[in-house]
Every structure is written in structure tokens, then in C-alpha cells.
Amino acid sequence: MREGMACDRVFIQDLLLRTIIGVKEEERQRPQDVLINLVLYTDTRPAGTSDDLRDAVDYAQVARQVGALVEGSRFFLVEKLAEEIAALCLQDSRVYAVDVRVEKPGAVRFARSVGVAIHRRR
């Protein structure tokens, strides 16, 4: 983070989507649930001052874009899905870093969920 840059965060929590993901043959047959959590690091002061959506990271738009990416994908690994989501989020020049957590609920017996969490910055 650069000197003087705000460490504000916009988050999207528990975005539940469906996609083809996994390496096993049965995982490639039908979509599975994935749970996405995002933290977008940005400076919210411009939007906080202007009260104008054009000065903000539009979390509804981010959620739609992530939904389209995830539901249209057919990756084998959650690691790849997480990388693609991070790259998408960093396309907005106001987002200087992102935390992405991708989970597959029920993928492992006796575990509520498994997945990966990554942090990427521009």
C-alpha cells in the first residue's frame, strides 16, 4: 500500500453460485454450489464525500460480473477459479487489492466446506 492510501474495504459475503468445478468425472457432470467471499481494498473517501455511485466500487456490479464468470466457467481447480475472480476484481482501477475465498460446501465428507483463500494486488 502506498503512503497516504486509504485501507478501506468493500466486501461481498457468501455469494452462492453454481458451476462445473472439480477433477472427478461426477463433478464434471452437473453444476455444484460454490461460495464466494470477496474483500475489495479501495479508497472510499471519494464516494463518502460525493455520495455518488460513480465514485464508488459498485458491489452490485462486481457481484454480477463474478456471477457471470463463475457460472460460465468449467475449471478443474478452485485455485484457478479464485485467480480468475481476483483478476476480474482488479480490472477496476479503484481496487488496489482483493481477498478472494472460494469454497465448495460438502466437497469432503465430514467437512462443512473446503476451498482456497488468496490475496492479490495490482
What mean pLDDT value characterizes the chain?
94
Does residue 104 have an active-site annotation?
Answer: yes
Question: pLDDT tens-digit profile of 38-55?
Answer: 999 999 999 999 999 999
Residue 22 phi, psi dihedral angles, 5° rounding: 135, 165
Question: pLDDT tens-digit profile of 83-98?
Answer: 999 999 999 999 999 9
Residues 6+ apart with CB under 8 A from 75: 19, 20, 21, 81, 84
Domains of the chain, each with CATH number or no CATH = 8-121 (3.30.1130.10)
pLDDT bracket for residue 100 (50, 70, 90): very high
Model's pTM, two decimal places?
0.93
Point out the catalytic residue in the list 66, 104, 107, 115: 104
pLDDT score of 108: 84
